[in-house]
Structure 1
């Protein structure tokens, strides 16, 4: 499985999650994220027109990693990959979906919660898991996981905000997936892409502060 996209995600530390009831505003949203410093974007497959959106955003923003999220089965994974998704994220752990991603050599980050699921994903050949939802578990959970499972890389998703992003990174998260606290659908509907750009820049600044503390 190619790891180049995964390495880029780990360097960027942030994946913006776009989940919407409409495909309108997708290009402006992605542009705002890019201008704010985000370099990896996930378009969830339950967003209308997600597959064509992935294809179009790949063409319009070649500097960005564009992936697919909410990938629930192997057929959805295949369609997302054919549409050009550079990486896949799932909310759950499903072996068939992972095998499809491995066949096409596209990185997949499955959603897990328990230590058993983390180890199972690793045994399926996954390099990084998505700890989801992270909000009820808190940053300390990542620290505790690293004790028995230090060889598994983690992405914290589900409740990451400007208030706790730094704590999750300090606790050992290799990267963060950020949804509504960054891409708020109300902002998209209102056309307030300046605010999305501002939030993106704020998350990027948090990453810089954690990486280069004074």
Structure 2
């Protein structure tokens, strides 16, 4: 999954095209930018169903609802929030909160979290955290976000994460560079699944 923070819709479209050309068909549009809803709407209009588009850095239920109304198909947050979880359940939209402790993880699962986003701790612990998190709950669906590189991606996949989020690898440079990185990431995932 590409984690996208863009100032313009045009740049978002180029990133999406590069990702799709490389075999990455999931984008998280971060609400750290004021235009996130407009970017989501434009991407849905241009690409439709071949591209799965969600909203990221969603901190409250109001933002989650706006994102859903703009076409977001999933909600990702750096923290767990009961109100967002309830809203996502009402709209039948997957919710993926960031959790750092087992108490947060269990609470998020009770509220229907689709994935648990290992953030920001994935930067500090690396793929070793998968074993730690899955020991009590072996089927825990983990989204690793932060610190994912071409060099360590295979470690994350072998450790058992369900998905990974990458920022710079899939958003920086030309459309062709994004496509090349997306292809390489896809190959690593397929080879290590």
Distance 1:24 1:47, change over 3 A: farther
In structure 2, what is the equivalent of residue 130 of structure 1?
117
TM-score (norm 1): 0.85
Unpaired runs of at least 5, structure 1: 1-14
Answer whether contact 1:23 1:47 (CA < 8 A) is retained: no
Aligned equivalents of 2:68, 2:74: Cα separation in 1: 8
In structure 2, what is the equivalent of residue 79 of structure 1?
66
In structure 2, what is the equivalent of residue 176 of structure 1?
164
In structure 2, what is the equivalent of residue 39 of structure 1?
25
Shift of 1:206: 0.4
Aligned equivalents of 1:88, 1:159: Cα separation in 2: 20
Q: Give the secondary structure class of the aligned counterpart of 1:112.
A: coil
Q: Aligned-pair RMSD on alpha carbons?
A: 1.2
In structure 2, what is the equivalent of residue 4 of structure 1?
none
TM-score (norm 2): 0.94
Q: Which runs of 4+ in 1 moved over 2 A?
A: 20-24
Answer whether contact 1:22 1:47 (CA < 8 A) is retained: no
In structure 2, what is the equivalent of residue 92 of structure 1?
79
* Larger mean Cα displacement after TM superposition, 66-75 or 47-56: 47-56
Unpaired runs of at least 5, structure 2: none
Answer whether contact 1:166 1:207 (CA < 8 A) is retained: yes
Per-residue CA deviation, residues 29-49 of structure 1 (Å, 9 max, x unaligned), is 110110011011111112242
* Larger mean Cα displacement after TM superposition, 123-132 or 63-72: 123-132
